[in-house]
Amino acid sequence: MVDMAELSAMHGSQASAQRMKKRRSAELRLQIYGILAITLAGAALVALLWSVVFKAAGALTETYVTLPVTLSAQELDPDGTGDPAVIGRADYGGFVKDLLKETFPSVTDRKARREMYDVVSAGAGFELRSKLQDDPSLIGEQIDYPFLASDVTDLYLKGSFGRLLPQPHSGNLSVIPSEDGKTAQILTSSNDFAAALSKVKLELIDQARGLRRQAAMQDAGVREFERRAANATSDEVRTENANQAISRATERDRLIALAEELEGRAASAGGTEQLTRTAPTVLVRVDQGWVKLTEINATGGVGRVVLPIEQTDALPADDWKMYLTDLPENARKISDNQIVLIEDLMARGAVETVFNTRFFSAGDSREPELAGLWGAIVGSFWTMLVTFLLAFPIGVGAAIYLEEFAPKNKLTDFIEVNINNLAAVPSIVFGLLGLAVFLGFFGVPRSSPLAGGIVLALMTLPTIIIASRAAIRAVPPSIRDAALGIGASRLQTSFHHVLPLAMPGILTGTIIGMAQALGETAPLIMIGMVAFIVDIPTGVTDSATVLPVQVFRWSDFPERAFEARTAAAICVLLVFLVIMNALAVFLRKRFERRW
């Protein structure tokens, strides 16, 4: 007999309610862990896609600088032959540089000139050449030609190097250029530069903080050497350590004095500050003229003339402008001179940003602004073609044999185990196989889509075989029995009845395998598809690269503009993968039959 009173006490008591609460909260905890896990996975996916798509936006547009250009026959085609070969021999790089020199005659300094040349892409001259080779009649004419801007210009316009911030001002401006016109004195009637000055002073405080940190390190050194000196066993060591401590202490005191001086300067109102490369740049603009300040006080300062400026007296506030950069010059890839030139070109209406068709039509290049993805897309196409032509028939054939014909024996078992293990072999090992066997032994051309296709075919083979076998096994035996019953041979049964019914499943598996192969990188690196290839491949034996390898290559380059292009290449790759997977899902939904 169960004692009912005891039982009800067990279920209704305080203790049991607590037990129940604990059990329920354990249940809740498990659910929360589950939700947390899924949320984390989702967050990772979103972060991944977001970081790629966000970065890719920068590669969607490219910039052109349109300049009027006189295509002098004397320079480009002295004999007036009109022969493309002769036209092609002219020095177009020099031609573009001369054009820039004419556009900005005031830029004479060597370094400034080199910076000026970098505003336009190194490939701009080649483009002009091919345009003239196509149409020699242009020679001798004056045209407006759009020169491709360099990656630095492009990134500046996209805001990657900070922006020019217009500063409010109210006073009248006076500019007094020096005699040689290289520097100029700036003066305003009100304290228009006070805000900029205080920003520069913030910079001083930052520097002072850095100095104090160094001083603290020196101080730690002092104490350490003092301790060593105190513990030293011989006089020699003691003096050496004591000397070290003394030299550190002097250094510490020097740094602290410097820091104090900077802080004093920062704290005092007014005064004059030098503008170095670590301080934000202050620019003053009057019409076409630009001055970069090198010394600043509350009412003006002294500056270097970047583009010639005229002497003015009491220019009203509306007629001049003052800018501050949000990054100091040493924190960006673009110099102040280049910013001024680009801003000047923009004011002339010469700068134009258009959709980047080049990215989808050009081959690879070492210059980011010239680099395109088309070579990799075509390479991927050829590689996938080879992969499909090999992997599909072999995979389906193997699946048919194993499902429909194979006798149950050791060999068949061995083949099955083999296929399963092959599916788990790291992809890089397939690359080594390709390197040793197909490149080394069979002499397949290195870097070619043929070699890549063979390796990827072997790699996707297990996927295709396993999927095809599942699809064939799903066809009910009654179909086979019916076909055999009316006198079909086993081969006829397989090819005429089983295979058509299994085809949707086989194709789905094949597409998924091909999608894997399309995203595979490591084995292709092993067989040399990572080489720098400019030409678009025209066949399976040409040197080529593929989309994921292109992503890998570009991600390795130091130029910042390649980052956006890498992300854009990833987006293109992902679009192809999404299309393939959508096709697989569609096939499965539309044609798959449940028996």
Partner 1 sequence: MLGIATLLILGIAMAFLVLSRNRAVALAGGQLSALHSRPSYHGLYSFLWASLVGVGVLLVLSLAGGYFMQATLMAQIAGLMPDAPQIERELVLSDAAALSSGGIPSRVDEVREAVAARFGTLEAVRLWGSALLAIAAALGTGYYTYLQVSTTWRARNRSERIVRLILLVAAVIAVLTTLGIVLSLIFETLNFFNNIGWRIDKFLFGTRWSPLSGVHSGEMDPDKVGAIPLFVGTFLITLIAMLVAVPIGLFAAIYLADFASPRVRAWAKPMLEILAGVPTVVYGFFAAITVAPFIRGTGESLGLSVASESALAAGVVMGIMIIPFISSLSDDVINAVPQSLRDGSYGLGATKAETIRQVVLPAALPGIVSAVLLGISRAVGETMIVVMAAGQGANLTVNPLEAVTTVTVQIVMLITGDTEAAVAAGPAFTLGFTLFCVTLALNVVALRIVRKYRELYD
Touching partner 1, residues 506-545 (CB under 8 A): 515, 518-522, 525-526, 530
How many separate helices (H) and strands (E) can be counted in the chain? Answer: 22, 12
Name the strand (E) or helix (H) holding 147.
strand 142-148
Number of residues that bind partner 1 (CB under 8 A): 85
Contact flag: residue 12 with partner 1 (CB under 8 A) = no
CA separation for the pair 314, 592 (Å, rounded): 83
Q: Which of 53, 55, 206, 232 binds partner 1 (CB under 8 A)?
A: 55
CA separation for the pair 396, 416 (Å, rounded): 14
Considering the complex, what minimum distance in angstroms separates the CB of residue 540 from partner 1? 9
Nearest residue to 170 via CA among 322, 275, 347: 322
Q: Which of 414, 532, 586, 591 binds partner 1 (CB under 8 A)?
A: 414
Q: Scan residues 541-580 and list those touching partner 1 (CB under 8 A).
A: 548-549, 551-552, 555-556, 563, 566-567, 570, 573-574, 577
Q: Scan residues 71-110 and list those touching partner 1 (CB under 8 A).
A: none
Q: Specify the residue, 273 or 520, whose C-beta has the smaller distance to partner 1.
A: 520
Q: Scan residues 237-276 and list those touching partner 1 (CB under 8 A).
A: none
Task: Please report, to the nearest 10 degrees, the dihedral formed by the alpha carbons of residues 71, 75, 80, 85 taken in order.
Answer: -100
Considering the complex, what minimum distance in angstroms separates the CB of residue 65 from partner 1? 29
Q: Which of 422, 484, 501, 583 binds partner 1 (CB under 8 A)?
A: 422
Q: x/- binding map, residues 145-184, to partner 1, per CB under 8 A?
A: ----------------------------------------
Considering the complex, what minimum distance in angstroms separates the CB of residue 306 from partner 1? 34
Q: Specify the residue, 176 or 429, whose C-beta has the smaller distance to partner 1.
A: 429
Q: Specify the residue, 237 or 585, whose C-beta has the smaller distance to partner 1.
A: 585
Contact flag: residue 122 with partner 1 (CB under 8 A) = no
User: Which among 172-180, 188-196, 235-243, 399-407 is the span making contact with partner 1, rule CB under 8 A?
Assistant: 399-407
Q: x/- binding map, residues 342-361, to partner 1, per CB under 8 A?
A: --------------------
User: Which among 70-78, 101-109, 456-464, 474-482 is the span making contact with partner 1, rule CB under 8 A?
Assistant: 456-464
CA separation for the pair 411, 407 (Å, rounded): 9
Residue linked to tokens 């573009």: 96
Q: Which of 429, 575, 579, 582 binds partner 1 (CB under 8 A)?
A: 429
Phi/psi for 496 (5° steps) reads -90, -25
CA separation for the pair 320, 291 (Å, rounded): 11
Q: Specify the residue, 289 or 368, whose C-beta has the smaller distance to partner 1.
A: 368
Q: Which pairs count as long-range contacts for 96-102, CB under 8 Å and 24+ apart, including other chains?
A: 96/120, 96/124, 96/125, 96/128, 96/147, 99/67, 99/69
Considering the complex, what minimum distance in angstroms separates the CB of residue 9 from partner 1? 17
Non-local CB neighbours of 540 within 8 Å, separated by 6+ positions: 382, 385, 386, 448, 449, 450, 453
Q: Which of 69, 124, 255, 402 binds partner 1 (CB under 8 A)?
A: 402
SS (H, E, C) 482-546: HHHHCCCCHHHHHHHHHHHHHHHHHHHHHHHHHHHHHCCCHHHHHCCCCCCCCCCCCCCCCCCCC
SS (H, E, C) 404-435: HHCCCCHHHHHHHHHHHHHCCCCHHHHHHHHH
Q: Specify the residue, 121 or 447, whose C-beta has the smaller distance to partner 1.
A: 447
Contact flag: residue 57 with partner 1 (CB under 8 A) = no
Nearest residue to 516 via CA among 566, 567, 463: 463
Bridge partners (DSSP) of residue 292 are 283, 304
Considering the complex, what minimum distance in angstroms separates the CB of residue 525 from partner 1? 6
Cβ atoms of residues 211 and 262 within 8 Å = yes
User: Which among 143-151, 219-227, 379-387, 398-406 is the span making contact with partner 1, rule CB under 8 A?
Assistant: 398-406
Contact flag: residue 398 with partner 1 (CB under 8 A) = yes
User: Which among 171-179, 242-250, 296-304, 424-432 is the span making contact with partner 1, rule CB under 8 A?
Assistant: 424-432
CA separation for the pair 414, 403 (Å, rounded): 14
Considering the complex, what minimum distance in angstroms separates the CB of residue 406 from partner 1? 7
The amino acid present at 503, given as its one-letter code, is M
CA separation for the pair 517, 165 (Å, rounded): 49
Q: Scan residues 22-51 and list those touching partner 1 (CB under 8 A).
A: 23-24, 26-27, 29-31, 33-38, 40-42, 44-45, 47-48, 51
Q: Specify the residue, 29 or 111, whose C-beta has the smaller distance to partner 1.
A: 29
Query: How far apart are the two ends of the chain, measured CA to CA in Å?
Result: 55
Q: x/- binding map, residues 464-503, to partner 1, per CB under 8 A?
A: -x-----------------------x-x------------
CA separation for the pair 278, 206 (Å, rounded): 11
Q: Specify the residue, 230 or 531, whose C-beta has the smaller distance to partner 1.
A: 531
Q: Specify the residue, 186 or 378, whose C-beta has the smaller distance to partner 1.
A: 378
Contact flag: residue 397 with partner 1 (CB under 8 A) = yes
Considering the complex, what minimum distance in angstroms separates the CB of residue 577 from partner 1? 6
Q: How many CB atoms lie within 10 A of CB 34?
A: 10
Q: Which of 207, 430, 493, 565 binds partner 1 (CB under 8 A)?
A: 430
